[in-house]
Every structure is written in C-alpha cells, then in structure tokens.
C-alpha cells in the first residue's frame, strides 16, 4: 500500500518519471485486493491516461496496457468497491471511451443502472460524465 501511495505522489507531480515502469504498474493491478491499493492504482492509471493523450508527454500506452486499464476499471466499477475507486475507474473508462466502439455504450448503461442506488459522490461524477456523453 505504501508503495502505491508513493507512486501516486510521484505520478501526480511528474508522471513522465513512471515511463519505464508503466507495464509493471498496470500489470500488477490485478494482484491487489485492498481498497486503498485499488484507489491508488485507479488514480495512477488516470495520470497515465491523461498523459497518454497529451501531445507533449513522453507517456505512450500500448494497446495491451490500455485494454488492461479498461478491464480493471470496468471490473472495479461493477464490483462492490468504495466510491473513490469507482469514481476514478469511471473517469478512466470515460477518458478511454474512444479506444473501443463498445465502451461508451457500456459506460452509459453502467452509470444509468447504478446512479439511483449510489452515494452522492458517485452520483455527482456519474451525472457529470453522462452529461458529457
């Protein structure tokens, strides 16, 4: 957990420094089951995704890495996870929605299904994303 927190702090300030470790970070995502680690992972993934689409960034995610981020984000969004994990996961899915044709439709369905029974934090982010879609 402490390692994930350190990686998150480093990534927040300088995501480019994570460049050589991207595959290891993404592939180790499935190894952790505690909520704190998952929240950190989803946040780190969001830094990587945003940098991937920024033209001046040295971060370039491979298709397999993008697919794994999408897979884990959907998995955490559909499971009984804490709100923070789900919020970061749904944002990652939204940011990667153009990578596969089916993502946007599935994201809309997921958000509409869960919005009425979720926490205020989840509802707030879900409504923001649904308005954008």
Structure-token pair, residue 111? 């958000």
- pLDDT per residue as tens digits for the range 76-133: 999 889 999 999 999 999 999 999 999 999 999 999 999 999 999 999 999 999 999 9
DSSP assignments along 70-81, one per residue: HHHHHHHHHSS-
Question: What does the pLDDT average to over 65-75?
Answer: 95
Any idea where the domains of the chain sit in the sequence? 2-132
Q: How far apart are CA 8 and CA 21, in angstroms?
A: 13
Q: How far apart are CA 42 and CA 81, in angstroms?
A: 12
More confident residue, 21 or 90: 90
Q: How far apart are CA 17 and CA 64, in angstroms?
A: 20
Q: Give me the pLDDT at residue 88, please.
A: 95
Do 119 and 82 meet the contact criterion of CB atoms below 8 Å apart?
A: no
Q: Which of 8-22, 29-43, 96-110 has maximum average pLDDT?
A: 96-110
The DSSP call for residue 99 is S
Structure pTM?
A: 0.89
How far is C-alpha 16 from the geometric centre of its chain's CA atoms? 17
With a pLDDT cut of 70, the percent of the chain lying above it is: 99
Structure-token pair, residue 55? 């033209």
Helix (H, G, I), strand (E, B) or coil at 133: coil
More confident residue, 27 or 89: 89
Q: Give me the pLDDT at residue 61, please.
A: 93
Q: How far apart are CA 105 and CA 121, in angstroms?
A: 22
In CATH, what number does 2-132 get? 1.25.10
Q: How far apart are CA 12 and CA 6, in angstroms?
A: 10
> With bands split at pLDDT 50, 70 and 90, how would you rate the model's confidence at 69?
very high
Q: Give me the pLDDT at residue 10, please.
A: 85
Q: How far apart are CA 76 and CA 58, in angstroms?
A: 28
More confident residue, 131 or 12: 131
């Amino acid at each position: 957990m402490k390692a994930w927190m350190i990686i998150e702090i480093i990534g927040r300030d300088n995501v480019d420094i994570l460049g050589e470790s991207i595959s290891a970070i993404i592939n180790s995502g499935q190894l952790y089951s505690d909520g704190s680690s998952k929240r950190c992972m989803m946040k780190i993934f969001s830094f990587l995704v945003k940098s991937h689409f920024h033209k001046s960034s040295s971060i370039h995610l491979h298709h397999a890495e993008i697919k794994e981020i999408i897979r884990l984000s959907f998995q955490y969004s559909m499971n009984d996870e804490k709100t923070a994990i789900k919020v970061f996961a749904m944002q990652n899915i939204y940011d990667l929605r153009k990578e596969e044709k089916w993502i946007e439709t599935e994201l809309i369905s997921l958000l509409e299904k869960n919005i009425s029974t979720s926490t205020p934090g989840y509802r707030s982010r879900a409504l923001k994303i649904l308005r954008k879609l």
